[in-house]
Structure 1
Amino acid sequence: MADDGGHKVEQSPGHTGGPREYRMEELAGLAGITVRTLRFYRERKLIPPPRREGRIAWYDDRHLARLRTIAALLERGHTLTGIAELAEALDQGRDVADLLGVGTPTEEEPVRLTPEELAARFEGEVTPENLAAALDLGYLGTDGGEIVHISRRLLDVSSALVREGIPLAEVLAAGERVRAHAEALADLFTDLILRHATEHDLHRLRPLARSVVEAELSLALDRRINKRA
């Protein structure tokens, strides 16, 4: 049989209509890499081990998705060492906070999703490139077989924007720009509070800083809307 791209796909003898499986050469062709590169990725443990059937190694769509994500991460400037660390977390189920390099959020609620639930949230938009961008931003991590989104509010807003017709790639690009401004605002309020209070007060006064930002953003949106009216 052949896949949609014209590549010959050979099924394992015991295949019964479940997930497709590929030999090494077939998987490399579908991923657009050489067999030598695939072997290198396997040796570096960037992909999980294949299923063995005698002397034949069988790979499936999970391996193909991983390879496409690796390609997207490499295009965004990630190193193989960094990707290997991510792959280890994907395979061993490291805690999402460790993976993202942050402590457990004190206000934002992480959301656990299966890959199918994530795809349903962003139907047709969960491409390897968008997945790599979300990982790059720290929006997504993994815990065992589950995907973890770092913030329910960000997940809900992102999926709502996509439902309104805004491409997920543009939502993620906007998120990256917002992140830079948010970091600057956080630095501003942290410095302001710590000049006049203590570390304990920083946590207590956090809602006040958030309210200032929300009010200023609301007023700024009012000004933009009025200009266009």
Structure 2
Amino acid sequence: MTDLAEAAGITVRTLRFYRERGLIPPPRREGRIAWYDERHLARLRTIAALLDRGHTLNGIADLTAAFESGRDVGEVLELGTPTEEEPVRLTPEELADHFAGEVTPENLAAALDLGYLATDGEDIVHVSRRLLDVSAALVREGVPLAAVLEAGGRVREHAEALAELFTELLGTYAAEGDLQRLRPLAKSVVEAELSLALDRRLQP
């Protein structure tokens, strides 16, 4: 325990406090000997980084609970890696930096429920770099992350309906095996219609 505390730059008393609060996982035990490893050191460094970013210990405990209740990356990507979207691996502190002040347990739980985020050990995986970048840009423009996630859920419903429409259409009229090749055409129709709809909405 002393070696772990020294490596993390904290006191043994602080380490015991973190363990009692459930902020770090319990050590592996062999008889009366407790073994800590790199996973515990990584968690302690994450706690320090989040404290530096203004999170409280209570908030970090809630975030930890949300992470541990979330699905792992294998469950989220159970159908395979996205064909066009690039997953992004993040540490908890890197996620906090993307959404300064907005990474709350509630927002984290919503992102996990949507499947935007998944866990992989001590790391977090966002399923789409584009969605990550756009979400962060909207937050920087003053849109609360909670509102961004709520809108994402509503867009998901419409996107699923559109995907069903086009797969049925192409499945009916296209040759077998052409669905992937014709995928860009379906995306172009949706993008053009959305652009026209925005024109109608934004015209003075």
Structure 1 residue 145, shift from structure 2 partner:
2.9
In 2, the alpha carbon distance for the partners of 1:133 and 1:18 equals 33
Amino acid at match of 2:184: P
Please state whether the residue corresponding to 1:107 is helix, strand or coil: coil
Amino acid at match of 2:177: H
Give how far 1:116 is off: 1.5
Matched, 1:101 2:95: no
The structure 2 residue matched to 1:18, chosen from 6, 10, 35, is 10
Aligned 8 A contact 2:19 2:25 in 1: no
Give 1:110's aligned residue: 87
| Distance in 2, Cα, partners of 1:211 & 1:153 | 17
Q: Does 1:49 align with 2:26?
A: yes
Sequence identity percentage: 62
Distance in structure 1 (CA, Å) of the matches to 2:77 and 2:112: 9
Q: Is the 8 A contact 2:92 2:123 kept in 1?
A: yes
**Whole-Å separation in 2 of the counterparts to 1:183 and 1:66:** 34
Q: Is the 8 A contact 1:139 1:150 kept in 2?
A: yes
Give the counterpart letter for 1:188 in structure 2.
L
Tell me by how many angstroms 1:148 deviates: 1.0
Which of 150, 153, 174 aligns to 2:127? It is 150
Report 1:74-223 matches (<5 A): 83=69, 86=71, 89=72, 96-223=73-200
Q: Which has the higher contact order (CA 8 A, sep 6+)?
A: 2
Distance verdict in 2 for CA 1:112–1:26, change over 3 Å: closer
The number of residues matched between the two structures is 181
What residue in structure 2 maps to residue 34 of structure 1? none
Q: Which residue of 2 aligns with 1:68?
A: 62
The amino acid that maps onto 1:27 is R
Are the structure 2 counterparts of residues 70 and 144 from structure 1 closer, same or farther at C-alpha, using a change threshold of 3 Å? closer
CA distance in structure 1 between the aligned counterparts of 2:97 and 2:18, rounded to whole angstroms: 30
Partner AA of 1:192 in structure 2: L
* Conserved 8 A contact 1:108-1:151: yes
RMSD: 3.5
SS at 1:210's partner residue? helix
The change in CA–CA distance for 1:128 and 1:189 in structure 2 (over 3 A counts) is same
1:164-197: CA deviations, max 9, x gaps? 0000010000000000000000000000000112
1:111-131 deviation line (CA, Å, top 9, x unaligned) = 111211111111111111111
Tell me, which stretches of 5 or more residues in structure 1 are unaligned?
Answer: 1-11, 32-46, 74-81, 90-95
**Which runs of 5 or more structure 2 residues have no equivalent in the other structure?**
49-56
